[in-house]
Amino acid sequence: MLIIAIDTSGALCSVTIIANGLILSEKKTGMNRGHANKIMPMVQSALTEADIPLCDFEYVVTSTGPGSFTGLRIGMAAAKGLAISNDIPLIGISCFDAVAERTNPKASFLSYGILVIALNSKREQLYVECRAMDHTKLIPGTVIGSDIFYNKIKTIIDKDTKIRLVGDGANQLFDQLPDDLQNNFLPVEEKDIGPVAASDLAYYAVKIIDIAGTVSQKYTPGLALNYFRSPDIGLAKK
């Protein structure tokens, strides 16, 4: 299975090429803006390093949100361009799914019963999703302030529930932790706070393809983005 994944949804601009679950090439750079100028040169660099023509790929993968309004559109445009020009299936992956997939419960120092994925929105509010260990969504993905989130989570836990925070918004959420939840939340681990990367998308795509079988053999139109909030557009100042 040969996959090229692209992500420009947040603080990274990244490209990953995976063959049979192994990374052949990975390019990534931290940046808050300018993804449009970087992504296609990074794609070409990754293809050159892997020494595989684009027409040989079985899937193109990109993120569908949440994330930067502009960044998501850049990534989708780049991925669609690759997929359409070579008639390759295009797969969209939720950023929540991607981050959750890289979270290995066995790698945590302490056991827990709930996973909270918190992604940076560059604002006071965060993109947050809350899951049980069986992947049931206890709080579906949303954009939310820390105070409202903590009020919600109090309604679904008891005093013994342990909660793990992951994602590049984890520290921001943890910093607002109320006193009466101090015993429920595990300390945020450094390995858990990286932003979404193309490799996360690629690995999750491998998982869903293995479960579902071949998704398609041709370009698959109709993939939509989920921004979770309206773009920041205001009236021009006079």
The CA angle 154-168-178, to the nearest 5 degrees, is: 30
The backbone torsions φ and ψ at residue 106, rounded to the nearest 5 degrees and listed phi first, read -70, -15
Q: How high is the pLDDT of residue 198?
A: 98
Rg (CA), the chain: 18
Per DSSP bridges, beta strands 59-65 and 90-94 are parallel
Q: How high is the pLDDT of residue 107?
A: 61
The CA angle 38-44-45, to the nearest 5 degrees, is: 85
Q: How high is the pLDDT of residue 230?
A: 62
Task: State how far the Cα of 136 lies from the Cα of 113, in Å rounded to an integer.
Answer: 11
Task: Report the candidate in 68, 56, 61 with the shortest Cα–Cα distance to residue 9.
Answer: 68
How crowded is residue 111: how many other Cβ atoms within 10 Å of its Cβ? 11
27 in helix, strand or coil?
strand
Task: State how far the Cα of 92 lies from the Cα of 5, in Å rounded to an integer.
Answer: 10
Task: State how far the Cα of 168 lies from the Cα of 236, in Å rounded to an integer.
Answer: 32
**SS3 per residue for 52-105:** CCHHHCCEEEEEEECCCHHHHHHHHHHHHHHHHHHCCCEEEEEHHHHHHHCCCH
Contact 135, 143 (CB under 8 A): no
Q: How high is the pLDDT of residue 214?
A: 65
Check for a shared fold between 2-96+196-212 and 109-188: yes
- What does pTM read for this prediction? 0.91
Q: How high is the pLDDT of residue 231?
A: 56
Q: How high is the pLDDT of residue 73?
A: 96
Q: How high is the pLDDT of residue 232?
A: 52
* Residue ranges of the chain whose pLDDT lies below 50: 233-238
Contact 168, 194 (CB under 8 A): yes
Instruction: List the domain boundaries for the chain.
Output: 2-96+196-212, 109-188
Topology (CATH) of 109-188: Nucleotidyltransferase; domain 5 (3.30.420)
| DSSP state at residue 224 | -
Task: State how far the Cα of 20 lies from the Cα of 192, in Å rounded to an integer.
Answer: 25
Q: What is the CATH number of domain 2-96+196-212?
A: 3.30.420.40
